[in-house]
Amino acid sequence: MTPDPTLMLALALALVVAYLVADMGARVAQSMLRGVIGDPELEKIFVDRPRRVVRIVIFLITAIALSFPAMRLAGVESPVGGNPRAVADWLLDRGLRIAVIAIGAYLVIRIGSAAARRFEREMSQGTGLDVIERTKRAQTLGRLLQKMLAIVVTAMAGLMILRELDVDITPVLTGAGIAGLAVGFGAQTLVRDVISGFFLILEDQVRVGDVAQVNGQGGLVEEVNLRTIVLRDEQGAVHIFPNGEVKTLANMSKDFSYYVITVAVPFEGDVDRAMDAMRAAAATLMDDEQFKPHILEPLDVYGVDNFEPGQLVIKARIKTVPLKQWLVGRELRKRIARTFAERGIKLPVPTMMVLASEAGEAGKAGKN
């Protein structure tokens, strides 16, 4: 069967028009996303991919909608049963509105994600200790806002699409109201977790990237949600705590951190020489370009902090930027040990004293 040239020309014209419309819509979406992001490095994720999705969706819908009038103009009967004009009218009317709603919801979610990323990037600019704190807070708020925006926009778009499909959404809204009432009465634990999480985030108690102890369990904070806090300990295990059950929370990396160190010296040792050696070791650490940016203040030596069997305990601490206290502390211990060895300062050696009673030995000998 030879293809009808008129039909082929009409369909080709419909595809060309559909491509032009899709390309125009994709360009509009691209310009909107670029205006929000403003960073060429992130355009591949937040601009190029959404642009392709928008172009494909608009092209398919427009091509299907225009194919029926093109076939009718070519004098060819539509393969779709029923009234092809009614199908075309539905696609151009409600089908187009459904597509616009879906594309609009997708773009709003992507724009929200791009805006959150841009917010995090702008908060991370600059130097100094405040940048670290701003970055943590921006990451926490950005992830929370992205999740909330996706849930709200998806729910609204779903209800609008159901309405376009002549589905009565009144029972849905009524059911949502009843479900909300049931949640208020029956899910009191969930409500408590959400309220606790809201105030936890509002008061900036802990952020993503902090090292914290929650109910005695320490770890790196990976997520701060309205309902839960997610920690990962040094062994890689993930611990999830509902916000309403957080009884104690110790943030070990907010604003600044301290590394506390104790050094033992023998009773007969020179305490002043040992403290001078500790300060000298810390001074070499502060002069090192690798560790200098992590140290905020010189080593603060308290002095003799405790008496223990056979030794005196000297206590000190050094102030560092958040999350760097362990790196600085390990290097400080190594340099203190090296400085002590260079200056001939000896560390206490565990000893054991055994006392033998002469009277007891003499009594045993008499019995024998």
Tens of pLDDT, residues 268-312: 888 999 999 999 999 999 999 999 989 999 999 999 998 988 889
Average pLDDT over residues 78-89: 55
What integer pLDDT is reported at residue 2 of this predicted model?
47
The tens digit of pLDDT for each residue in 139-149 reads 777 777 788 88
Taking the complete model, does pTM exceed 0.85, yes or no?
Answer: no
Q: What is the pLDDT of residue 365?
A: 54
Measuring CA to CA, how many Å separate 207 from each of 41, 133, 236? 26, 9, 19
Please determine, for residue 81, whether its predicted confidence score (pLDDT) is greater than 50.
no
Kindly tell me if the per-residue pLDDT of 132 is higher than 90: no
pLDDT in the model for residue 1: 43
Higher-scoring residue by pLDDT: 105, 64 = 105
What separation in angstroms does the CA of 192 have from each of 189, 230, 242, 353? Answer: 5, 17, 9, 60
Question: Is the model's pLDDT at 341 over the cut of 60?
Answer: yes
Q: Is the pLDDT of residue 9 over 90?
A: no
Residue 368 to residue 364: CA distance in whole angstroms: 6
The CATH number assigned to the domain with range 257-343 reads 3.30.70.100
Q: What's the burial of 31, exposed, middle or buried (CB within 10 Å: 0-12/13-18/19+)?
A: exposed
Instruction: Write down the pLDDT at residue 163.
Output: 77
CB atoms within 10 A of CB 316: 21
CATH fit for domain 187-251, picks 2.30.30.60, 3.40.50.2300, 3.40.1410.10, 1.50.10.100: 2.30.30.60
Please check the confidence at residue 359 and state whether its pLDDT lies above 70: no
Backbone angles phi, psi at 254, to 5 degrees: -100, 125
Residue spans per domain, the chain: 5-167, 187-251, 257-343
Sequence-distant (≥ 6) Cβ neighbours of residue 63 within 8 angstroms = 14, 15, 18
| Contact criterion met (CB below 8 Å) for 198 and 229 | no
Task: Render pLDDT for 35-60 as a digit per residue (tens, 0 to 9).
Answer: 665 556 555 555 666 677 777 777 77
